[in-house]
Amino acid sequence: MSLSLIVGVADIAWATDLSTFQTELDGCNSRKTIDPSESCNITGYNYQYGKGIERDIHKARLFYEKSCEQGNSQGCTNLGHIFAVGNGVPRNAIRAVNLYEKGCRDGNQLSCTHLGEMYFNGAGLDQNDDKAVALVKTACDANIPEACDLLGWFHIEGIGGQINSARGFTQFKQFCNDDHAYSCDSLGLSYANGIGTSVNIKKAEASFRKGCDADYPDACNSLGNYYNCVGVNIFDSFTPAPQKVKTFYQKACDLGSSGGCVNLGIFYIQKGMEDFVRSKKKNQFLKGMKILDDACFAGNGEGCNRLGFIHGGGLVVPQDIALSWVYKEKACQLEFQKACVAVGRAYLKGINGFKKNEIKAVELFDHACHEGAYQGCLELSDMYREGLGVTKDLKKADRYYRVACKNPYTLECVDRKN
């Protein structure tokens, strides 16, 4: 489980137009400002989310850095989040951890919350559930709603104690009722998938909508998924609503959700394929590619990976195998593990411009496996079984096979049994 937490400027009004944006920018650059570090932090936020100015993640990072260097713990937190998720920069978990630790030491409980999440995911430091729970619980006790929402997921997953889905659900409901948008998204997911409660599609929709109305991008993305019948336990009679799908993916993207942008790009790609088959028109398809390219550039590995498949397929745009693998390698660098498995296979076989390197293939398969990509575990099993890039070890081969094939209906596992 990896949760995306809000990058925040607590209790401060961000820019609503160019004039208010300029006021904060001037405050950041002026020695006469009472707290220029906070003006720099707000300016970074305005650039990141396009508040009063065109969105520019690179300028956002520069202003967060300036804010953090001046001792603003929230600026450090926001900068840490950019590196944690790879937003416009290569993902760098170690630097993110250092920034979160700095913010947490300075008393910023949102930084402590993010640091707890890093401990839980084992990103940038050794995985430690006890430290994760302690940090997040302390932040929740300090009335940080993001922390309380994450603590709810810990209850559901049984992190730091027994699984208690009902307790997690109750926590989401309480905080959503208190108008905390991220908990409304979690509440919607609980209703949609029957987590800690019975499935209730209407309540799921209402919860997602409440979060989206409060401009929480993940809730808008979830609402788009809801109308697209993706990732929720939908009744057979439910019919997708394409216009609503596009509306809410667009809003999620506009609010800064790279996942929302990828979903929006995929939406246009799918519609563009239909147009191309009917009339050879490429407009919507190319628009979808542009959206995916922007998401890839902003650090979303799935967006890069999708573009890799598009350029490799050559269905609507000319096939370009070399460019396809450039995108897949970038997706891997951005920690999209399915792409890492594909790149690992290319190294293993010495194809598509990759020099044969069994050791490099093992490294990629191993990392993908430990990050939850079962395909990586399956490839790693084969490497140990055949002694490719590692010392032959049938026990390890069997162990990685069992990890990969926990689900007996995994297609690759069924094929190998047959």
- Tell me, what amino acid is at 188? G
**Separation of alpha carbons 86 and 48, rounded Å:** 13
| CA of residue 288 relative to chain centroid, distance | 19
The full DSSP string for 294-361 is HHHHTT-HHHHHHHHHHHHH-SSS---HHHHHHHHHHHHHTT-HHHHHHHHHHHHHT-TTPPP-HHHH
| CA of residue 319 relative to chain centroid, distance | 29
- Tell me, what amino acid is at 144? I
**How many H helices and E strands in the chain?**
22, 0
Beta strands in 43-105 (DSSP E): none
> How far apart, in Å, are the Cα atoms of 379 and each of 217, 405, 413?
36, 12, 11
**Separation of alpha carbons 85 and 6, rounded Å:** 12
> How far apart, in Å, are the Cα atoms of 160 and each of 130, 134, 149, 174, 212?
6, 9, 15, 21, 31
Cβ atoms within 10 Å, residue 51? 20
* Half-sphere exposure (Cβ direction) of 271: Cα atoms closer than 13 Å: 16
- Tell me, what amino acid is at 316? V
**Separation of alpha carbons 43 and 14, rounded Å:** 8
Cβ-based burial of 199 (10 A; exposed 0-12, middle 13-18, buried ≥19) = middle
- Are 314 and 348 in contact by the 8 Å Cβ rule? The answer is no
- Are 224 and 186 in contact by the 8 Å Cβ rule? The answer is no
Structure tokens at 290: 């542009």
Question: What pLDDT tens digit does each residue of the chain (418 aa) get?
Answer: 444 444 444 444 444 566 677 777 887 877 666 678 988 999 998 888 778 888 888 899 999 999 999 999 999 999 999 888 777 777 788 999 999 999 999 999 999 999 999 999 888 889 899 999 999 999 999 989 889 999 999 999 898 888 899 999 999 999 999 999 989 999 999 999 999 999 999 999 999 999 999 999 999 999 999 998 865 555 445 567 889 999 999 999 988 888 999 999 999 999 999 999 999 999 999 999 999 999 998 888 999 999 999 999 988 999 999 999 999 999 998 889 999 999 999 999 999 999 999 999 999 999 999 888 889 999 999 999 999 999 999 999 999 998 888 755 566 675 565 4
Cβ atoms within 10 Å, residue 94? 12
Backbone angles phi, psi at 314, to 5 degrees: 65, 35
